[in-house]
Amino acid sequence: MADIGFVGLGVMGGRMVVRLLAAGHAVTGYNRTRAKAAWLIERGMRWADSAREVAQAAGVTFSMVTDTAALQGITSGPDGLLAGLGPGKIYVDMSTVAPAVSREVAAAVRERGAQMLDAPVSGSVSTLEEGKLSIMAAGDQETFERVRPILEAIGPKVTYVGPNGRAVLMKIATNLSLAVQMLAFSEGVLLAERGGITRATAVEVLLNSVIASPMVRYRGPFVLRMPEEAWFDVGMMQKDMTLALDLGRELSVPLPATSATNQWLTAARGMGFGDRDFAVLFEVLSTMAGMRRAS
């Protein structure tokens, strides 16, 4: 069992801590808002007052934060995670951020005598809780092998993809499909409904058809009833789409479906849906089609 640190205890990070505790690991955590971590403290997580204190207390420190700016925020400064790292320690960032910035942080970690992996995940709250999360990891391969058993406590499918920055690149390449698929699924449901098929029936048929990817299977029912708490909100989804479009320009890869779907996410924000799960794309389309929600 390992002494593990975790910085960023939000919807996904907090549930990862639960899995680590269940596997028998000792976990020390920090979150900008302590009240959001109370339920984890009750389950046995130890609290630290800064990211630096977490890294000092742990042999392996994880982080899961919202974006590139947040990663820079938790790693830099006198109370940042970097200040708590030293020889022999390992830092694993599971956030989806700009690959170039991830590589910069990895270089700063090495200057402290430590090692860093970028290890974002593919999946949702439901796949995490069911133990079906997929993880991609990048960095020094020997370090990856040392951390692999801990990663497998979070999700059973762990894939090494290369040097630092490659895992976040792979995550961005994965995530651009999520909103594109959700938009296409919504178009299909609305077309069927307009033609006289009930929305619930259309959803049932599509979820049992060849287009039912794992993401469509767990998020498709949201067109009937949205979750009270967003699993992955419009703002976060658009952040990943923007990262993808930036990389597309940098690498000379045309991303027409990503670009078009990103405009629909902008429309969702314009309609006041920025904090809703990105499945709200269905509501944007249904509103334009003059149709009411089923629930």
Q: What is the arithmetic mean of pLDDT over 198-210?
A: 96
Between 48 and 231, the more confident residue is 48
Q: Domain segments of the chain: what residues? A: 3-163, 169-288
Residue 260 has pLDDT above 60, yes or no: yes
Pick the CATH number of 169-288 from 1.10.10.350, 1.10.3720.10, 1.10.540.10, 1.10.1040.10: 1.10.1040.10
The active-site residue, picked from 132, 157, 171, 239, is: 171
Q: What is the pLDDT of residue 294?
A: 47
CB atoms within 10 A of CB 227: 13
Residue 157 designated active-site: no
Q: What is the pLDDT of residues 53-99, one digit of tens each?
A: 999 999 999 999 999 999 999 999 999 999 999 999 999 999 999 99
Q: What is the pLDDT of residue 292?
A: 66
Confidence grade of residue 293 (pLDDT, cut at 50, 70, 90)? low
Domain 3-163: homologous superfamily in CATH? NAD(P)-binding Rossmann-like Domain (3.40.50.720)
Residue 214 has pLDDT above 50, yes or no: yes
Q: pTM higher than 0.95, yes or no?
A: no
Helix residue ranges, H only, the chain: 11-22, 38-42, 51-57, 68-75, 99-111, 125-129, 141-154, 166-194, 199-207, 214-219, 234-251, 256-270, 281-288
